[in-house]
Chain A
Amino acid sequence: MPRREILICGFGGQGVIFAGELLGRAGIRAGLETGQSASYGSEARGSACHAGVVLSSEPIGYPKVRRPDVVIAMSQAAYDRFASTVKPGGRVIFDSHLVKRGEIDDVEQIGVPAASLATRLGRKGVANVVMLTAAMEITGDVSMDALREALGEQSPEKYREMNLKAFDEGMAAAKAALE
């Protein structure tokens, strides 16, 4: 697999960094070289934040995301800032419950109502898992088995069951979005 760059963005408190770590671990489980880095603002909750993940079957030279193949946007501010950085021919996957999309040439845009699906599950905080799962099901960048295993491993005991429900919800949401 050639180098793929995935940028997950939103605001502090949405679990953006958690999602980045999760994708990184899934990459390792899928046997890929993986580099994950996160941006840290000077304040945390509510401020813009993003996590970049590089996946490749080759050793990773430059470890940061430069021109993402995929942008996963979980807030309007993050969408406005990062959606246009995606490579031509790339994909923007956004939370259609929170983001009003714009027009970007030569980019496929797919909405997933992750925030509302998470609220329906009873826990707004799992929107990150819904979003990442749906995005990976759509792009095929990492095996879904690896992602699910990584989620089980990374989830704290008390949230594991809920996170796995969110995973299933994300899989279904991806199918719905592609129809």
Chain B
Amino acid sequence: MDNTEKKQRQVVFWPGNKVVAEAAVAAGCRFFAGYPITPSSEIAHVMSKRLPEMGGKFIQMEDEIAAMGAIIGASLTGQRVMTATSGPGFSLKQENIGFASFIEAPCVIVNVMRGGPSTGLPTALGQADVMQARWGTHGDRPVIALTPSYLDELYNEVIRAFNLAEMLRMPVFLLIDEVLGHLSERVEIPDPSEYELVERPRPTVSPEEYYPYDSSQGDVPPMADYFTGYRWHTTGLNHDKTGFPTTDPVICQAEEERMERKVSGNLELIEKYEEYMTEDAEIGVVAFGTTARAALVAVADARKKGIKAGLLRPVTLWPFPEKPTRRLGQRIKAMIVPEANLGQMIYEVERVAGCNGPVVGVNKIGGVPIYPGEILTRIEEFA
């Protein structure tokens, strides 16, 4: 990027949750329904002010279930929509998340992860919703979850979340944690000319010829906005191209496989990761979110001590970055997986790394972030 472009960028000092809200507005979000919950509440707070200013709508619903329902409804009318919550609310939303996946309604769901199961530690960080994001709702369905580590990156990933949701007609999760949500740092706001806002595919045929799940042109069927003359039916039952229920096993299989292909067939669009000093690494570290910031410091400190460590940081956590993990795993002595939970992403690393050496976690819960030194100690153990 050259300097002339950089000059147009506004520099702000915002907390992560405000970054989420402002980036959502920049991404064209004009409908937010939510139920406030620590540590995500500031997102709803900012949206409640910004959306009316932009001609959009903010609704505080009676609970998280209703909030998820409301954004699905708004999405069907053609709006770019978002809700934000934390673990307990993410649990409540799961049934409707499955519904959104199956009717293929674009939406963005932010989960600012707190510590602990159940109500847990409302004001402290956790990273324990990794598997819930993947498997939290019943049945097979594709999942995208983005896990940025820095506030500049967060802004861009929010925009990317909306674009992916719209392009692929599916819910997209933004999984951040309390530390990132409440951290303020220098953020350069990209000029709108620096990014593209992608719309969902819309029908080119007349209402009479329209089928809502017509995949003859590709795996993402064109989606007509409600109340524009295109009448179509949504159901959580398995359905055919008309949108009405079917129990035909051939159609059921073909349709669910098509949905899965929206992700598996678009990996180059969805996958994003960063590698730091992995080329000659003998000890691999895989970490995401704010834990990856501690891991980066630990890897740099290890290098200063002459230990060849390298970091793989998934920015897209789901689908899991299998290829870079395998590439790293096959040439290192040990793989270290720090995460603020008792071991979740490590299952994916073990599954795909093909590592000859051990795959070991650094697991810390209780709301206190993992320190770089705790990761460094683990690296030194296996160096």
- Please give the residue numbers on chain A whose beta carbons come within 8 Å of chain B beta carbons, in ascending order: 21, 24-25, 28, 33-42, 60-64, 66
Chain A's nearest CB lies how many Å from the CB of B303? 13
- Render B347-383 as a binary contact track against A, CB cut-off 8 A, 1 for contact: 0000000000000000000000101100000000000
A61 touches B294 (CB 8 A): yes
What are 12 A-B interface contacts by the 8 Å CB criterion?
A28-B11, A37-B179, A37-B184, A39-B123, A40-B123, A42-B123, A60-B185, A61-B297, A62-B297, A62-B371, A63-B183, A63-B185
- Please give the residue numbers on chain B whose beta carbons come within 8 Å of chain A beta carbons, in ascending order: 11, 13, 38-39, 122-123, 179, 182-186, 290, 293-294, 296-297, 300, 369, 371-372
Expressed in whole angstroms, the Cα–Cα distance for A40 and B183 within the complex equals: 12
* Overall SS of chain B's interface: mixed
Expressed in whole angstroms, the Cα–Cα distance for A24 and B13 within the complex equals: 8
A35 touches B183 (CB 8 A): yes
Chain B residues closer than 8 Å to A42, beta-carbon distance:
122-123
User: A33-B186, A34-B13, A62-B372 are known contacts; what are 8 more A-B pairs with Cβ within 8 Å?
Assistant: A21-B13, A34-B186, A35-B184, A36-B183, A40-B182, A61-B300, A63-B179, A63-B185
The 5 A-B pairs with the shortest beta carbon distances in the complex, nearest first, are A61-B297, A36-B184, A40-B123, A35-B185, A37-B183
Contact A28:B179 (CB < 8 A) given known A61-B293, A63-B293, A64-B369: no
Expressed in whole angstroms, the Cα–Cα distance for A24 and B294 within the complex equals: 20
Contact A61:B296 (CB < 8 A) given known A40-B123, A41-B123, A42-B123: yes
Contact A64:B186 (CB < 8 A) given known A34-B13, A40-B123: no
Expressed in whole angstroms, the Cα–Cα distance for A34 and B182 within the complex equals: 14
Chain A residues closer than 8 Å to B39, beta-carbon distance:
40
Chain A's nearest CB lies how many Å from the CB of B364? 13
Chain B residues closer than 8 Å to A66, beta-carbon distance:
371
B123 touches A64 (CB 8 A): no
**Of A33, A37, A62, which contacts B294 at CB under 8 A?**
A62
Expressed in whole angstroms, the Cα–Cα distance for A38 and B372 within the complex equals: 20
Chain A residues closer than 8 Å to B369, beta-carbon distance:
62, 64
Chain A's nearest CB lies how many Å from the CB of B6? 14
In the complex, what residue of chain A is closest to B297 when comparing beta carbons?
A61
A33 touches B293 (CB 8 A): no
Chain A's nearest CB lies how many Å from the CB of B37? 13
Contact A21:B179 (CB < 8 A) given known A42-B123, A61-B293, A61-B297: no
B182 touches A63 (CB 8 A): no
Chain A residues closer than 8 Å to B294, beta-carbon distance:
61-62
B184 touches A21 (CB 8 A): yes
Chain B residues closer than 8 Å to A36, beta-carbon distance:
13, 183-185
Expressed in whole angstroms, the Cα–Cα distance for A109 and B122 within the complex equals: 35
B182 touches A61 (CB 8 A): no
Expressed in whole angstroms, the Cα–Cα distance for A33 and B297 within the complex equals: 16
